């Protein structure tokens, strides 16, 4: 096939831009700050799950403490009533004895509740400490995320601007190429990982390095200044002898 020399020059320039764009996009995707942000987000989710677990434990402990307190308050009121009855029953030995035994039972139950209350208080103190640790871990992770985000915004912003500038140059150049030639370039680029052109160098494809028989090279040149590499499918720009 034959392609105008100016179109070939435009193709070569576009390919150079395309390669640079591919490299810049790969660099953008592989910025260490991007991974740092992703890692921080994963850690935040894990810490948030831990925080949720801690809050559930706290709620359970606080509910238990509330029930203990409610029962103890009820027993305290009951103990006051029994004591009043004992004081009013002076001289009634049986009533005093019965109420005294009942009062002793109430006090024993309150002693048990007091132990339970201390255990729950100790549990809540542990939960409080874990809650503080979780909050500190979250704060640290968020700091890392902010720093990585700021660095990514700067580096990524610069790369994105470079990519946009190169894409604009490529678009302007493509608009000056005949539509059929441009379709050929784009179709070949899609099939060759964005590198559609290669030079014939010493009867080899300059991209895949596959040797081409001399007779076939002669036949290619007889048909124009561009051929298709029989191995990689790139547009092979034929050089003069």
- Global pTM value: 0.67
Distances (CA, A) of 51 to 37, 40, 56, 197: 20, 16, 9, 57
Distances (CA, A) of 123 to 62, 128, 129, 197: 10, 9, 10, 71
Residue 207, judged by CB atoms within 10 A of its CB (0-12, 13-18, 19+), counts as buried
CA dihedral 12, 18, 22, 25 (to 10 degrees): 140
Give the residues across from 204 on adjacent strands: 201, 211
Per-residue pLDDT of the chain (241 residues; tens, 9 = 90+): 999 999 999 999 999 999 999 999 999 999 999 999 999 999 999 999 999 999 999 999 999 999 999 999 999 999 999 999 999 988 888 999 999 999 999 999 999 999 999 999 999 999 999 999 999 999 999 999 999 999 999 999 999 999 999 999 999 999 999 999 999 999 999 999 999 999 999 999 999 999 999 999 999 999 999 999 999 999 999 975 4
């Amino acid at each position: 096939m034959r392609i105008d020399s100016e179109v070939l020059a435009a193709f070569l320039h576009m390919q150079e831009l395309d390669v640079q764009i591919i490299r810049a996009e790969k660099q953008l995707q592989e910025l260490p700050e991007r991974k740092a942000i992703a890692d921080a987000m994963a850690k935040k989710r894990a810490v948030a799950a831990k925080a949720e677990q801690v809050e559930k434990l706290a709620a359970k402990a606080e509910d238990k403490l509330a029930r203990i307190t409610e029962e103890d308050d009820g027993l305290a009121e009951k103990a006051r009533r029994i004591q009043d009855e004992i004081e009013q029953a002076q001289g009634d030995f049986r009533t005093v004895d019965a109420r005294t035994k009942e009062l002793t039972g109430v006090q024993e139950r309150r002693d048990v509740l007091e132990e339970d209350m201390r255990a729950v208080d100790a549990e809540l103190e542990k939960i409080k400490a874990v809650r503080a640790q979780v909050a500190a871990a979250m704060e640290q992770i968020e700091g890392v995320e902010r720093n990585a985000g700021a660095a990514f915004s700067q580096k990524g912003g610069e790369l994105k601007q470079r990519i946009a500038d190169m894409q604009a140059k490529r678009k302007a150049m493509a608009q000056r190429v005949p539509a059929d030639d441009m379709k050929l370039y784009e179709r070949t680029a899609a099939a060759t990982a964005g590198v559609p052109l290669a030079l014939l160098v010493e009867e080899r494809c300059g991209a895949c390095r596959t040797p081409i028989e001399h007779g076939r090279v002669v036949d290619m040149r007889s048909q124009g200044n561009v051929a298709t590499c029989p191995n990689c499918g790139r547009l092979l720009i034929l050089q003069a002898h």
